[in-house]
Amino acid sequence: MVAITVPCTIDHIPRVKCPKGTANATVPTVDLSAPGAAAAVADACRAVGFFRATNHGVPAALADALEARAGAFFAMPLADKLEHASARPLGYGSKSIGSNGDVGWLEYLLLAVGSGSVQASSLPQSLRAALEEYTAAVREVGGRVLELMAEGLGLDRGALRRMVQVAGSDELVRVNHYPACPLASGVTGFGEHTDPQVVSVLRSNRTGGLQIMLRDGRWVPVAPDPTSLFINVGDSLQVLTNGRFRSVKHRVVAPDAGKHSRLSVIYFGGPAPSQRIGPLPELLRDGEQSLYRDFTWGEYKKAAYKTRLGDNRLAPFELPAAVMEPSNSDHHCGTNAAVRPPPPPPPHVGQVY
């Protein structure tokens, strides 16, 4: 069996300059059970690409059971964890993220969702069962959120969900464990990146460390809340919405010495490899210009997995902006005037939906 581990000490891991801002100052919260949820979800995805979801319906007992089982797994000796690991890129990993030299102060399990792959893994049975049950519940929330997003964009309810939750779709679950960092502060746990998929649904224990980048480039710490789920817009959703929703840059800083370790579980909703990703035709009415060339998820994933974590993976798929008509033209005929998608509103400070 092959495991993703590298000889790496703390000195090899980059440090992060921690932002001074108040945690959650600009993290929108959406009550998924409230009547205005669709509009609130769409607003949050336009402004930040990230939000905290409350009243999501996942029983706390499922998350608690998984947290306990995963904690027990990560507490095992390294040799035992390696024994449970399967081949790259899925399985157990330590300090190395992906295959292109990214490192962080963490260990993790990365597994495919569906078709019994969690069950088929060589993990302890109790952990497999907890992971299956929790993932099924969170996947359902991901599906509901995609329906709300579609509704908020004025699309058919299933327009986004059917991109990721169909037979053959590429869905993943990741359990990240960030132990407290000895002798150093501000050590990178998971370096800055955007998620390549359509949507990600994250839950963590009580230990913070997650930060998101706002549109103006400011990093904001996200206050941990084990009772909530955190939703990320991924690169593929940015393309499907022709830039209305933008994928959010995020990173994790490992806990300082003496603190509790951070444990997070993330469901990534990705399409089937043959699924075409391009701006949804319903959003390109009225002559709006497509900002991206079409590609398949298989094509994008292959390209994405050759990149470093912090790279802009969408750049090679961006189309050059069409020539705009001079605004003072007396001869406005509109034939080659490019219509751009509406710009996102500025982030709403302290907004709670």
Ligand X SMILES: O=C(O)CCC(=O)C(=O)O
> Nearest approach, Cβ of 337 to ligand L4NPZUNZ (angstroms)?
37
C-alpha 179/C-alpha 205 separation (Å) is: 13
Helices (H), 52-182: 60-74, 78-84, 117-120, 125-152, 161-164
304 HSE (CA, 13 A, CB side): 19
C-alpha 310/C-alpha 193 separation (Å) is: 5
The reply to whether 250 sits near ligand X by the rule CB under 6 A is yes
Whichever of 145 and 252 has its CB closer to ligand X, that residue is 252
C-alpha 280/C-alpha 149 separation (Å) is: 13
The pair of structure tokens assigned to 78 is 């390294």
C-alpha 137/C-alpha 62 separation (Å) is: 9
C-alpha 157/C-alpha 153 separation (Å) is: 10
Whichever of 147 and 195 has its CB closer to Fe ion, that residue is 195
> Nearest approach, Cβ of 43 to ligand X (angstroms)?
23
Q: Is 42 exposed, middle or buried (0-12, 13-18, 19+ CB in 10 A)?
A: buried
- Label residues 145-178 b or e (16+ Cβ within 10 Å = b): bbbbbbbbbebeeebbbbbbbeeebbbbbbbbbb
Region near Fe ion per CB under 5 A, out of 25-33, 40-48, 191-199, 267-275: 191-199
Q: To 5 degrees, how large is the angle CA 186–CA 16–CA 220?
A: 100
Q: To 5 degrees, how large is the angle CA 95–CA 192–CA 274?
A: 90
89 HSE (CA, 13 A, CB side): 13
> Nearest approach, Cβ of 284 to Fe ion (angstroms)?
28
> Nearest approach, Cβ of 244 to Fe ion (angstroms)?
21
Region near ligand L4NPZUNZ per CB under 6 A, out of 126-134, 206-214, 240-248, 301-309: 301-309
Partner whose footprint covers residue 66, from ligand L4NPZUNZ, ligand X, Fe ion, none (CB < 5 to 8 Å by kind): none
* Length in residues, the chain: 353
Region near ligand L4NPZUNZ per CB under 6 A, out of 92-100, 161-169, 201-209, 240-248: 92-100
The reply to whether 102 sits near ligand L4NPZUNZ by the rule CB under 6 A is yes
Site map (CB under 6 A) of ligand L4NPZUNZ, residues 20-59, x = contact: ----------------------------------------
Whichever of 47 and 266 has its CB closer to ligand X, that residue is 266
Q: Which one of residues 195, 233, 262, 275 is an interface residue with Fe ion (CB under 5 A)?
A: 195
DSSP state of 181: B
Region near Fe ion per CB under 5 A, out of 46-54, 100-108, 195-203, 234-242: 195-203
Site map (CB under 5 A) of Fe ion, residues 73-102, x = contact: ------------------------------
Residues making contact with ligand L4NPZUNZ (CB under 6 A)? 89, 97-98, 100, 102, 110, 172, 174, 193, 195-196, 268, 304-305, 307-309
Residues making contact with ligand X (CB under 6 A)? 174, 176, 190, 195, 202, 204, 210, 250, 252, 264, 266
